[in-house]
Amino acid sequence: MTRKLNILYITLLFCFIIPYTCLAADSSTNPGPLLPLWSVLPFVGILLSIALIPLAFPHFWHNHFPKVSFFWALVFAIPFIYFFKETALREIAHIIIIDYIPFILLLGSLYIVSGGIYIKGTLKGTPAVNSIILLIGTILASVIGTTGASMLLIRPILRSNSWRVYKVHTIVFFIFLVSNIGGSLTPLGDPPLFLGFLHGVPFFWTMKILPEMAFASIVLLFLYFILDSHYYKKEIMTAVPDSEQEPVKIEGSHNFIFLFGIIGAVLFSGSVKLGQINLFGINQTIENLIKDAILILMGIASLISTRQEIHKNNEFSWAPILEVAYLFAGIFITIIPALAILKAGENGSLHWLIKSVDSPAQYFWTVGMLSSFLDNAPTYLTFFNSILGKFYPGIPEASAVALLIVEKIPHLAAISVGAVFMGANTYIGNAPNFMVKSIAEEAGVKMPSFFGYIFRYSMPILVVLFTIMTFIFY
């Protein structure tokens, strides 16, 4: 079977190289306006691999998923480098240095630090207890970010429900609320909002989307409580834990220092300007390098200072973060043409889409659906700039943003809510989604497949909710 798959991979590689010969590109060309829509096929390929191979060939996937990720990266990178030469190398180096490495460092440091915080004691996974944990996580997500809140609370909610037979829905709603929707009230909550802050949107402007966040959170928490109460009544009585209560206690609390150190480093990188240095032809800001160094130090300090017993009690292992690192390496490489086309705006292959978006409702759904599968940060920034160009052409950005946040509140709210909320539509819509899935599976929870998540949960719950919100708010 492995040999047949290797033959299939080689065939796909050559099939993808041939169409690239129609591009007359040179090393100085901006690839965005030139790339056709079919250039995103390797990205589609890696998504389909993540969705289908674990179902069709689970043993092969478990042992070879890094190779699958690497293969799709090569399918895109080889012809891209051959035809676009230095431009292609620069694009690949840019996404690795500017996006992928900081992404993994942030996720990895939060994973390590949260793995050193152990909440012991009796937290019986009743509908009320689970709902309270989801509520706390939703609120925390805007303070310490969706990734920070997810990494901090996923293990406690898994342990409190370890005795439960029906618990997949709890992790899914955790992704909905803690990993996505909860991060919509401050720029700390989610990367798109942080980009808006860097481009002049006031820090507390995002509080204007509190009504949308409150509505979505209340509806989802209510639905979750009803659903979990239903499943709770069906639980096998022999699986119910002993009634003996153990007081709740936090071990490894010194890791909160490292957690706030990570948050401080992120804030520092967005608030201070120290100049740039050149790394392999890519300009990287000094403040971002300092941030990354702090993240590494926080992770190392946590590993050194945390007792092994705490890691053992938390069932800490490197498997989830390694899975994310391998798969997202391929995703980040293959996503290059999709982002380049999107950034090309009206000059790219999606010009028809960019030109057709006008009303807040259209911005909400366009940004949201793209953010479900692409990186929501550049998607937000693309349509943020589109709004500025559409309503305030020729005006300096600072002045345009000052007008935007007053005169076009529904439009900016729509792209903010779309980028943050609809990241919950898929496992790859936001950074912590896939990590939560991996940690849950490591703990023995049989999570739905890529498409199973979409068809069983996202479409019947989130898409219906977002449709209702469109009529209410946009």
CA 18 to chain centre: 33
**Do residues 463 and 453 make contact, with C-beta atoms less than 8 angstroms apart?**
no
Counting every residue written for the chain, the total comes to 474
The answer to which of 6-10, 45-49, 297-301, 333-337 has the lowest mean pLDDT is: 6-10
Greater model confidence, 49 or 20 = 49
Please give the Cα distance from 105 to 120 (Å, whole number). 28
Which of 408, 106, 154, 413 shows the shortest CA–CA distance to 265? 106
| DSSP state for residue 273 in the 8-state scheme | -
pLDDT bin (cut points 50, 70, 90) of residue 169 is: very high
Q: What is the mean pLDDT of the chain?
A: 85
Greatest extent of the chain over all pairs of C-alpha atoms, in Å: 73
Chain CA centroid to CA 361, Å: 23
Q: What is the DSSP letter of 242?
A: P
Percentage of the chain lying above the pLDDT 70 cut: 91
Residue 70 DSSP label: H
pLDDT at 346: 74
Listed ranges 109-118, 342-351, 455-464; the one with the highest mean pLDDT: 455-464
pLDDT band at 12 (very low <50, low <70, confident <90, very high): low
Instruction: Please report, as a single letter, which amino acid is at residue 230.
Output: H
- What's the pLDDT tens digit per position in 42-98? 988 888 888 888 888 888 888 889 999 999 999 888 888 888 888 888 889 888 888
- β-pairing, 118-120 vs 276-279, is unpaired
Q: Find the mean pLDDT for residues 234-246.
A: 61
Listed in sequence order, the DSSP H helices in 235-335 are 255-271, 286-305, 308-313, 319-334
The CA–CA distances, whole Å, from 370 to 383, 418, 428 equal 11, 9, 11
Residue for token pair 């009320």? 128
pTM above 0.85, yes or no: no
Q: Are 183 and 145 in contact (CB under 8 A)?
A: yes
Whole-number Å distance between alpha carbons of 468 and 474: 10
Q: Is 314 helix (H, G, I), strand (E, B) or coil?
A: coil
The residue-averaged pLDDT of 371-389 equals 80
In whole angstroms, how far apart are CA 94 and each of 105, 229, 281, 315, 339? 16, 48, 9, 35, 12
| Secondary structure string (H, E, C) spanning 396-465 | CHHHHHHHHHHHCHHHHHHHHHHHHHHHHHCCCCCHHHHHHHHHHHHCCCCCCCHHHHHHHHHHHHHHHH
pLDDT confidence of residue 10: 58
Is 158 in contact with 175 (CB distance < 8 Å)? no
> Which tokens go with 434?
């896939």
Provide the 10 A C-beta neighbour count for residue 235.
15
Question: In this predicted structure, what is the pLDDT of residue 269?
Answer: 84
Q: Helix (H, G, I), strand (E, B), or coil: what is residue 251?
A: strand
pLDDT reported for residue 24: 45
Residue by residue, DSSP assigns 159-196 as HHTTT-S--HHHHHHHHHHTTTGGGGSSTTT-HHHHHH
pLDDT at 429 over 80: yes
Answer for the pair 260, 301: CB distance below 8 angstroms, yes or no: no
**Residues 390, 209: Cα–Cα separation, whole Å:** 22
Average pLDDT over residues 120-141: 88
Q: What's the CA gap between 455 and 449, in Å, rounded? A: 10
- Cα separation, 20 vs 36, in Å, equals 9
Decide: residue 39, CB within 10 A, 0-12 exposed, 13-18 middle, 19+ buried: buried
Report d(CA 272, CA 294) in Å as an integer: 15
Residue 358 in this model has a pLDDT that exceeds 90: no
d(CA 431, CA 312): 25
User: What are 262-293's pLDDT values in tens digits?
Assistant: 888 888 887 888 888 887 778 888 988 999 99
Asked if residues 154 and 433 have their Cβ atoms less than 8 Å apart, the reply is no
